[in-house]
Chains A and B, each alone.
Chain A
C-alpha cells in the first residue's frame, strides 16, 4: 500500500506570502492529522479530520492557518500570510478508524519563512 505523501518536501517563502501544503493520505484512511515541529521542539498537534469534517482543530495556532479536506481525500494546509514563526516541519498522518490501528506519517514539509 502506498504511504502518506506530502508535497512539497521543502518550501522557502518570504514573510507575508502564502503557502499551501498538501497531504495525500493512505486510501481508505478516514482520519487525517496535521502536526508541526518548530525549531527542534516537540511535534505538536494542529488538527484532525474525519473524512471531510474537522473533528478537532484545537491545535491550530491562529486564523492565518486554514485546513481543508474536500471530498474526504487529500488535505491542504494554507498559511496566509506567513510569518517567521511559522517556519518548521509540517507532518501529516493518516489512520483507519478503529481502536487498534496506528498512525502512518508522511515525510513532512519543511517550511522556511524568511
Chain B
C-alpha cells in the first residue's frame, strides 16, 4: 500500500522567514502534486512534478522532486501572511488501469506578522 508522509503537520512561522515542507512516499509514482487549501475552499493545484529533478517555482513557493529518494519538498521563501493555508502533497499512481491520488496528512501553515 502506498504511504505518503508529510511533515511537519503544523508550522507557525514569522513573516520574512524561510521554511520547507517535506513529502516522502513509499513507491514509484507517475506524478506528484502540491495543493493549497484555504478554510472552506477547494483544493487549489499549485504544482505538478513529473520527473526526477523537476523544480517549479511560483512566487515565494518552490517545489522539487527527487524520485530516487521518493521525496518532494515545498520551500517557502520570505513568507507573507497570505500564504497561511493548509498544504497537501499527493502522489498520483496509475496501476492496473486505475489512477488515483494518495495524499499526505497536510501541513497547516500559519504565518505570524
Contacts and interface: CB of A to CB of B under 8 A. Distances in A.
Interface of A: 3-4, 9, 31, 33, 35, 40-45, 48, 55-56, 91, 93, 102-108, 110
A112 to B, nearest CB: 14
**In terms of DSSP, what is the predominant structure of the interface of chain A?**
strand
B33 interface: yes
**In terms of DSSP, what is the predominant structure of the interface of chain B?**
strand
Contacts of A45: 100-102
B110 to A, nearest CB: 15
B43 A105 contact: yes
A103 B106 contact: no
Contacts, number: 52
11 contacts: A42-B103, A42-B105, A43-B101, A43-B106, A48-B100, A55-B97, A55-B98, A56-B98, A91-B42, A104-B45, A105-B42
Interface of B: 4, 33, 35, 40-43, 45, 48, 88, 90, 97-106
A106 B42 contact: yes
A45 B98 CA distance: 12
B4 A56 contact: no
A107 B106 CA distance: 16
